[in-house]
Amino acid sequence: MPDTAADGNKRGARSARPAQRRPLLAWLGVSPFFLFTLLFMFLPAGFLVVGSFLDQEGQPTLQNYADLTTPIVANAYANSIEISAITAIGGGLFGFLLAASVILGGLPPFMRNALMTFSGVASNFAGVPLALAFIYTLGNLGFLTAFINNTFATDIGQAGFSLYSKVGLEIVYMYFQFPLMVLIIAPALDGLKRDWREAAENMGATGFQYWRYVAFPILLPSLMGAVILLFGNAFGAQATAFQLTGGTIPIASIVIGAQIRGDVLHNTGLGFAMAMGMVVIMAMAITGYSLLQRRSERWLK
């Protein structure tokens, strides 16, 4: 009987055929991805690299990169870096505190669901609609501006506030920066194990000591990586700033468009060189984010 059962098992094993793989269909399924990356990443990147080394007559030159030190270009980069850094730090701090309060603060579950839903929508609400929304709210004739002026008998414009200034642009950027921070940092906060806090409390640690010596060092790589990602998110923005200020505040992305379109400035090669500078800065930000994420994953698995 045992031999018969064994033979039956062998025949059953031989009769079972492995699932047929169809690599051709699998490659066909991912072909849109490769086509997309080729058309919208590699070809434009190659076009920028080649164009940045050509002058107006199409002759090879290095002058485009030398012109990156001119005052208008340097000022545009400085404005972009300043706005991106301020909104990344401010949005990162506010977003972290908000996420920690909702996720770790013991609030009802519906508060987390509401926050994550809002963050998912607000982090993608940018460009022209966001600029118009703030103009209708905090512009010179916005309803909130009128409410403040009428209620408190004051003029916030005369007090020095203008939505169309660098400070106003930073306020608008904060609208999509802190929700993005909530979405990024929420998984890291969920990764904090309750055992770590209980072990710290059993050893006599206070809540401040737990955050100082346990939770914060573990979250630090995720926090730094998220702030770097927020910096890159703001650095590449263009439509919101252009719609809000009309190009009166020169940032790198707006000056690139002016150089290529030729509204006032016109040096296509310089515009390509500036775009390559933005590509380098964005690549550095993405690389830093990736390295910090790998470090944080060692603890948060």
**What pLDDT score was predicted for residue 300?**
61
Residues of the chain with pLDDT below 50 are 1
pLDDT score, position 181: 95
At residue 169, the pLDDT reads 94
Write out the chain in H/E/C secondary structure.
CHHHHHHHHHHHHHHCCCCCCCHHHHHHHHHHHHHHHHHHHHHHHHHHHHHCCECCCCCECCHHHHHHHCHHHHHHHHHHHHHHHHHHHHHHHHHHHHHHHHHHCCCCHHHHHHHHHHHHHHCCCCCHHHHHHHHHHHCCCCHHHHHHHHHHCCCCCCCCCCCCCHHHHHHHHHHHHHHHHHHHHHHHHHCCCHHHHHHHHHCCCCHHHHHHHHHHHHHHHHHHHHHHHHHHHHHCCCHHHHHHHCCCCCCHHHHHHHHHHCCCCCCHHHHHHHHHHHHHHHHHHHHHHHHHHHHHHHHHC
